[in-house]
Structure 1
């Protein structure tokens, strides 16, 4: 598994006011890169993919898919916590990783809610920050270099609050 990720998440349960999207967290657990995408209660992850920006059109949007998995099979993955590049947490790998993932890429996650259907948001993650940080059992690095717990990552979303701004 490669060490550098950027995250792009699709969130339906919440609308994030202002220009600051919520940030995802990441950590290495052995050889696996674990991602925590913030999701509101009631939102369910339906698919995840690792993509890399390419010159030209790539798949038509300037990105190339490196890995894609659908139908999370474990509760944690349905709530936004899963291993990137692994079929362990998903019922089907639509596109398995071919070779080693690059040091920099995005992770795109698609969510669904009964009320809003599908929609999304994005953020970045940089795993090159990990060698200089010792993370506790429930801590994750963010693309901004901040160490946060899963609860702190999820608390960025205004889920059900009338006016809230995600924490930087």
Structure 2
């Protein structure tokens, strides 16, 4: 086959004559000559680089305690992909769906290792809990009693993407 390809490239033989002379299928010789390895089926929704980038970001967010849910990941790809795309995406990038409890424990692990939380614990604050996206929540009565500037630690309620929509981060107490 290599000899036939060299003769075709030199212009000595035509594709059809080379196929006859070397007893090789004409279409196989043509494919080999153009070296186009066309995969069957439709093209993937995201390129390989985009998928790797997306999976890396998902892993980082999960490590930080704010993992994306299935609908949030599906919304990233335009056209709202189905269950098969999500399942295959997870398989290709070695991702798995964790339970909500896993996310909360990851949040608390990251939260407890924070320097500011350690400082507040040493100051005597007992009821510190994560706010995920913003600052930390601490018990309002503790703010009024122990901090000279209570406006620094204002209690703000925000939704947490890793908890059910009805749950509020206030319910994630850690003492």
**TM-score if structure 1 supplies the norm length?**
0.22
Whichever structure has more strand as a proportion of its residues is 1
Larger radius of gyration: 2
TM-score computed with the length of structure 2 as normaliser: 0.21
Greater relative contact order, per chain length (Cα 8 Å cut-off, separation 6+): 1
